[in-house]
Structure 1
Amino acid sequence: MTRLVLVVEKASDWSVYYPSADVVTAMDYLREPVGVDDERTHVINLCRSYKYLGTGYYVSLLAEARGHRVMPSVRTVNDLRRRALYGLEIEDLSAKLTHFLPAGGRDTTDFGILVYFGQTAHPALQDLARQVFEMFPCPLLRIEFERDRVWQISAIKPVGLHSLDDAQEDAFAEELDRFSKKLWRKPKARKQFRYDIAMLVDPHEAMPPSNKKAQKLFIAAGKELGIEVDPIGKNDYQRLAEYDGLFIRETTASDNHTYRFAHRAEKEGMVVMDDPTSILRCTNKIFLNDLMVSRKLAVPRTEILYRDDAKGLKELAGKLGYPLVLKIPDGSFSRGVVKVEDEAALNKATAELFQHSALLLAQEFVYTEFDWRIGVLNNEPLYACKYFMSRGHWQIYNHGAKGASKTGESETLPIDKAPTDVVKLALKATQAVGNGLYGVDIKRVGDKPVVIEVNDNPSIDAGVEDEHLGEELYGRIMQEFLRRMELKRAGATD
């Protein structure tokens, strides 16, 4: 069961709202802990100020000490004092604010808006309000702007309930009601779970990391361990504080919501797979190649191409020969990967790909009947698969096939049946990245295995990767979540 607690500095701060048993004064909260040991408690700190060592500061500090989820966290309180963090990269901020101002306010040089749980009364600035709230999760914020030559954010300040006028009180009440319903679900008539994990999925994704049956098997495996695995989507960002862990089963990228979810979850102290560091390291092939080379791990012969470097492009064939493979650094599932047979094809392909990235990866072409995929969890081998090339194609995924994307066959083996040198190389590759859940793609070039890629978000599909272990595969992953969540609860570090 989850309990919601609203902490106010003075009882009079809540006098204009409906009385509620969920509302306590700061002194009552500080003097006597609320909730019981097996009850998950979430605190919204509505004190008048979060000044360092003040009452509001101590509410957030002791909430964290008691294992309560609190908004704002002490980290957010401290970040709000650091003006350097206000340099948010808000696209077209000047244009947005100029458009927002009424015609008579063109000479304005400063103004501000209120933000209630990431919402504002000004639709034109809603995206801005959301971005600020995601960076500084705080119930009530005032964003102040100033204009010299261009508009910029001059301050982001917490706001107390006592300072609101009638209209603002109504707006706050409406957003609090909406936010709390979205964030904390009503209790269910169900088994009491020890932990809750949010599983981020996209039901409309064409090629998700886990198919629907696999997602159900993760949910079932969690229940066996006393963990509720709850599928959520990209619109559930503000629900993250409800959970103890985040399991991303949606294709990750460093520039979309999957990274924001991972980063926010990590800041909240949750157990996260894929963690944001792994996403950053694995989703850029240029970074990953340099990482492998720096660890002296075998990779295909590789060159980095730079936009507007005609000399480097001309010398490429002499270094790698034809055919060769070009890759966009952040492509996934074989997207943004092009095989070129000659100079004309190289020039055409690079002209296209350089529109998407200033740097490209060029690698020697190595054809193999299949790629090895070694699944690794917490630096231990988990499963071994052979992914065969799509029929009549040089890749596992043939996105040029008519209709849906065509994929090759697969074969899953016990770890001890996979080549020892392949498994060892996979473990060395993941040790360079982190201790999460990874899939390492390896080709054998002659008699030597080479790392093609380390995936932070490996495919785990029912009927493919679980062909050997079956339900045990899902159980092992949930067991690792449980181990890490228990360490967190005990105050230990992994």
Structure 2
Amino acid sequence: MAKFLIVTEKKSDWAAYFPSESVVSVGDYLDHRSDKAARNTQVINLCRTYEYQSIGYYCTLLAEARGHRILPTLRTINEIANREQQLMVIHGMNEALDLAFAGHPCENVNLLFYFGQTDVPALQKMARQLFDQYPLPVMAVQFRHGPHGWQLVSIAPYSFHRLENGQQDRFSAALERFSRKIWRQPNHHKRYRYDLAILIDREEHMPPSNLMAIKRFIRAGKRLGINVELIDKDQLGRLGEYDALFIRATTNIDDFTYQFARRAEKLGLVVIDDPASIMYCTNKVYLAELLEKHKVPTPKTRVLRAGEKNWVEKTIHELGLPCILKLPDGSFSRGVHKVSTAEELESKALAMMNDSSLILAQEYMYTDFDWRIGVLDRQPLFACKYYMSQGHWQIYQHKEGGSFNAGGWETLDVMSVPRCVRETALRAANLIGDGLYGVDIKQQGNKAYVIEINDNPNIDRGIEDHVMGELIYERVMLEFLRRLQQRGL
């Protein structure tokens, strides 16, 4: 039987409703270790906000890492914040609105939809459609009357703790109905042609592929019958012209790369990096939870959150000193700090918590180099050793003004890599999906420890292609071709 959990930010938020063993605070949910392996657990996240890196955001993030079925999903949280995406969804609803608000005395109407339910019969179909697109417990919807009739102006999450008497009754009734239904995912469109866009950022100083590598991707694609063109962050509207999207700009959940991936997936394009891979790989807290659940070796790790009691002492006891502090979404060694004393641990962690509700503390494990194993479609693609920057404990040593020092590199044949490293990398990458990943590993003796999984690994001319040469570019394009052909072309 499925386990059903309702997570609130504070226990007092549920005071107006009947007590239930299914209701837990977000602190209890995040701390409860025994729930991590529970199967068939359904969770409704009723935290007060789902803003990026809020405690509500991390509730959903870690629920997905634990394999729980969560509402709202991370994808919903990120998509609802995008105004352009909303305009695509609400297009064509004017006729239903004119019928529902005929003769209404006000020019602005604000309504709440509860789990896709509304008390306005003429808007029930719309409420269901919006819930299918944005599954939210409570959705605030604003309507406005203008020269062209009634229009849906905006949709946004609404915190259930703000509900008042009659609203609380409607919420609880809708929750009761919803909890009996099967959760489902929306279908996606499919399209069929051989045109591929490579998304680049011409202003980026450290792109995942240099210009010489990009040119070789284009050549490899055209040899295989795929027309390859470059697009940049200002050309989102062109995605409909293509069958596939290859992202070669550094990905992040709150920038244009995720928006391109999400839009491309909705259009039915073959996408690398896909939105799910971007969401999961760009957050180290999620990766730590996921790897722990599946018993993939990592350095000893703790998730720190503001308000936790005795967290400094617990961290030192579990990890020792020095230890490493990481912002969840740092890249290229940014947002990563080594602390050597209790005072330094506390001050640095508290400063980092100003940017993120949760941060990562990890055992310090020095090695002369990190392995990077490239993985594509669940198979190893390339292997590199990235050496630490001279006199520094990281591969990149960032300086003021945006400059940096980087260590050396060595590219090897994949089959010459120690078996423990190769197999651990595949185990880790395959937990994310079947896209293109770079798994960073530290090796100590015959043991390999995963540091992180990158959804957007570097493939640069002269480095990662040093062993395979042109074949590495052809292998990537062949994977796009295979996926396009699988769709019936």
Q: CA deviation at 1:314?
A: 2.7
Match for residue 233 of structure 1?
232
Aligned residue in 1 for 2:378 = 379
Q: How many residue pairs are counted as aligned between the two chains?
A: 337
Which deviations, in whole Å up to 9, do the C-alpha atoms of 1:282-328 show, x marking residues without a partner? 11111111111111110100111111224112321121111100001
SS in structure 1 of the partner of residue 366 of structure 2: coil
Distance in 2 (CA, whole Å) between partners of 1:336 and 1:143 is 47
Q: State the shift of 1:140 in Å.
A: 9.8
Counterpart in the other structure of 1:435: 434
2:108 equivalent to 1:146: yes
CA contact (8 A) 2:111 2:140 kept: no
Letter in 2 for 1:337: V
| In structure 2, C-alpha distance between the alignment counterparts of 1:309 and 1:428, rounded to whole Å | 32
8 A Cα contact 2:199 2:245, kept in partner = yes
Supply the distance in 2 between the matched residues of 1:307 and 1:475 (Cα, whole angstroms): 47
Partner of 2:214 in structure 1? 215
Q: Distance in 2 between matches of 1:90 and 1:370?
A: 37
Checking the alignment, whether the CA contact within 8 Å between 1:195 and 1:243 is kept in structure 2 is yes
Q: Which runs of 5+ in 1 are unaligned?
A: 1-87, 92-126, 158-162, 166-192
Instruction: Note closer, same or farther for the CA distance 1:403–1:437 as it changes in structure 2 (3 Å cut).
Output: closer
| Distance of 1:326 and 1:487 partners within structure 2 | 43
Q: In the aligned structure 2, how far is the partner of 1:199 from the partner of 1:372? A: 27
Corresponding position: 1:274 with 2:228: no
Q: Structure 1 counterpart of 2:486, which letter?
A: L
**Residue 86 (structure 2) pairs with residue 132 (structure 1):** yes
Distance 1:347 1:140, change over 3 A: same
Which residue identity does 1:133 align to in structure 2? Answer: L
Deviation at 1:430? Answer: 1.2
Could you say which residue in structure 2 is the equivalent of 1:323? 322
What does 1:35-114 correspond to in 2, within 5 Å?
A: none
Q: Residues 141 and 199 from structure 1, CA distance in 2 versus in 1: closer, same or farther, beyond 3 angstroms?
A: farther
Secondary structure class of the residue paired with 2:205: coil
Note the C-alpha offset of 1:146.
3.0
Mapping of residues 119-198 of structure 1, within 5 Å: 130-135=84-89, 146-147=108-109, 153-154=141-142, 195-198=194-197
Distance change >3 Å, CA 264–CA 155, structure 1 → 2? farther
Residues 146 and 152 of structure 1 are in contact (CA less than 8 Å); yes or no, is this contact kept in structure 2?
no
Q: SS in structure 1 opposite 2:291?
A: helix
CA distance in 2, matches of 1:328, 1:377: 27
1:233 is displaced (CA, Å) by 1.2
The aligned residue for residue 11 of structure 2 is none
The residue aligned with 1:412 is 411
Compared CA separation, residues 313 and 301, structure 1 to 2 (3 A): same
Give the drift of 1:344: 1.7
1:164 deviates by 7.7
Q: Decide whether aligned partners of structure 1 residues 426 and 201 sit closer, same or farther in structure 2, where only a CA change above 3 A counts.
A: same
For 2:82 and 2:289, locate their aligned partners in 1 and report how far apart those are by CA, in whole Å: 36
Give the whole-Å Cα distance in 2 for the aligned partners of 1:207 and 1:425.
Answer: 27
| Aligned twin of 1:288 | 287
The TM-score with structure 1 as length reference comes to: 0.63
CA RMSD of aligned residues (A): 3.2
Task: Tell which has more relative contact order, 1 or 2 (C-alpha 8 A, sep 6+).
Answer: 2
Cross-structure match for 2:30: none
CA offsets, 1:343-390, max 9 Å, x none?
A: 121122112100110111100100000000000000011100000001
- CA distance 1:417–1:148, change in 2 (3 Å): closer
Assess if the C-alpha contact under 8 Å between 2:110 and 2:143 holds in 1.
no
Q: Structure 1 residues 90, 292: CA separation in 2 closer, same or farther (over 3 Å shift)?
A: closer
Post-superposition offset of 1:267: 1.2
Encode CA deviations 1:120-150: one digit per residue, 9 max, x unaligned: xxxxxxx986342355577999999834599
Higher mean Cα deviation, 366-375 or 310-319?
310-319
Identity %: 46
**Structure 2 partner of 1:340:** 339
Determine the structure 2 residue equivalent to 1:39.
none
In structure 1, the partner of 2:307 is: 308
Contact 2:208 2:460 in 1 (8 A): yes
Q: Partners of 1:242 and 1:394 in 2: how far apart?
A: 45
> Structure 1 215/319 Cα, relative in aligned 2: closer, same or farther at 3 Å?
same
Q: 1:334 to 1:134 in 2, by over 3 A?
A: farther
Matching residue's letter, 2:224: L
Q: Distance in 2 between matches of 1:401 and 1:251?
A: 21
Q: Which amino acid aligns with 1:219?
A: I
**Secondary structure, counterpart of 1:220 in structure 2:** helix
Task: Please name the residue that 2:478 is paired with.
Answer: 479
The one-character-per-residue Cα deviations of 1:204-235 (angstroms, maximum 9, x if unpaired) are 01111111111111111111111121111111
Q: Secondary structure at the match of 1:235?
A: coil
SS in 1 for 2:485: helix
Please tell me whether the aligned partners of residues 141 and 156 of structure 1 are also in contact (alpha carbons under 8 angstroms). Answer: no
1:489 CA drift (Å): 3.0
Q: Which runs of 5+ in 2 are unaligned?
A: 1-48, 53-80, 99-106, 113-138, 150-191
Q: Distance in 2 between matches of 1:339 and 1:194?
A: 49
- 137 and 261 in structure 1: CA distance in 2 versus 1, 3 angstrom threshold: farther
Secondary structure at 1:432 match in 2: helix
Relative distance call for 1:258 and 1:427 in structure 2 (3 A) is: same
Distance in 1 between residues matched to 2:217 and 2:97, nearest whole Å: 42
Question: Does the residue aligned with 1:254 lie in a helix, a strand or coil?
Answer: coil
Deviation track 1:241-264 (CA, whole Å, cap 9, x = no partner) reads 110001011111122221111111
Which whole-Å CA distance do the structure 1 matches of 2:457 and 2:280 have between them? 14
Letter of the 2:422 counterpart: V
Please give the alpha-carbon distance, in whole angstroms, between the structure 1 residues aligned to 2:291 and 2:389: 27
Residues 243 and 299 (structure 1 numbering): CA distance in 2 closer, same or farther, change over 3 Å?
same
Q: CA separation in 1, counterparts of 2:469 and 2:390?
A: 27
Secondary structure of 1:234's match? Answer: coil
Q: Which amino acid aligns with 1:132?
A: Q
Question: Greater CA deviation, 430-439 or 303-312?
Answer: 303-312
The answer (yes or no) to whether the contact 1:383–1:415 under 8 Å persists in 2 is: yes
SS at match of 2:312: helix
Alpha-carbon distance in structure 1 between the residues aligned to 2:222 and 2:109: 55
In structure 2, what is the Cα distance between the partners aligned to 1:487 and 1:195? 12
Q: With structure 2 as the length reference, what TM-score do the two structures score? A: 0.64
Call closer, same or farther: CA 1:131–1:343 in 2, change over 3 Å: same
Residue 356 of structure 1 corresponds to 355
Distance in 1 separating the partners of 2:260 and 2:488: 21
